[in-house]
Structure 1
Amino acid sequence: MAEALIKVEVVYAAVDRQMLLSVTVPAGTTVRAALLKSAVGREFPELDLAECPVGIFGKVITDSNSRPVQSGDRIEIYRPLLADPKEVRRLRAAKAAEAKARNL
């Protein structure tokens, strides 16, 4: 009997472009194996698909080598933040306070 196939999506957003791919994989395929099967590695060769952090629908997957995908899952590939959001807010608040002090 033929192996059951399921469809999942793989998404990645680089700084300059984004990609959403539909991938058909056998049932029981792991998250990492689905990533490697997708064409995202060819489109973004700078990605280390064996090590990059990933999630499904916004929830981080800690062990993508053992977590099987389910039909309809959207696998998201995460990239490092360019700036720490807390630091950006702190700098913005300091700049606003400085501008307010100058206007007094």
Structure 2
Amino acid sequence: MQITLVHSSAPRMVLEVSLQVPEGCTALLALETAGWMSAYPELGTQALTLGVWGRRVGPAHVLRDGDRLEVYRALRVDPKVARRERFVGQGARGTGLFARRKAGSKAGY
């Protein structure tokens, strides 16, 4: 059966490989078959986050023909914290609905 492995080890750097695996192959076995566990040692040290077509799956997930197995990097910054810091830097009047308000118009319109 044919699957596709996708991994982005760094921003704007994507590695995509098509792989032939046997029926009943798990996600972890597919990574080992491709040699990614030895090529990318960071995959074995951190909690491995995998997905099939954008849906999160575990390492024991059985793959089907045509699946796209994605290996996700850990987030470096919590998205809520990053948004909060951006908002503080921009100020309350420079974001959202109030950024380009016409003179004399009501708030939020």
Deviation of residue 48 (structure 1)?
0.9
TM-score by length of 1: 0.76
Question: Cα RMSD over matched residues?
Answer: 2.3
TM-score by length of 2: 0.73
Query: What residue in structure 2 maps to residue 81 of structure 1?
Result: 75
Q: Percent identity?
A: 28
Q: Greater CA radius of gyration, 1 or 2?
A: 2
Q: Which amino acid aligns with 1:10?
A: L
Counterparts of 2:63 and 2:16 in 1: how far apart (Å)? Answer: 16
Secondary structure (helix, strand or coil) at the match of 1:14 reads strand
Which of 6, 26, 36 is the matching residue for 2:22?
26
Which of 13, 16, 22 is the matching residue for 2:8?
13
Deviation of residue 10 (structure 1)?
0.8
Do the aligned partners of residues 47 and 72 (structure 1) sit closer, same or farther apart at CA in structure 2, a change above 3 Å counting? same
State whether residues 36 and 49 of structure 1, in contact with CA within 8 Å, keep that contact through their aligned partners in structure 2. Answer: no
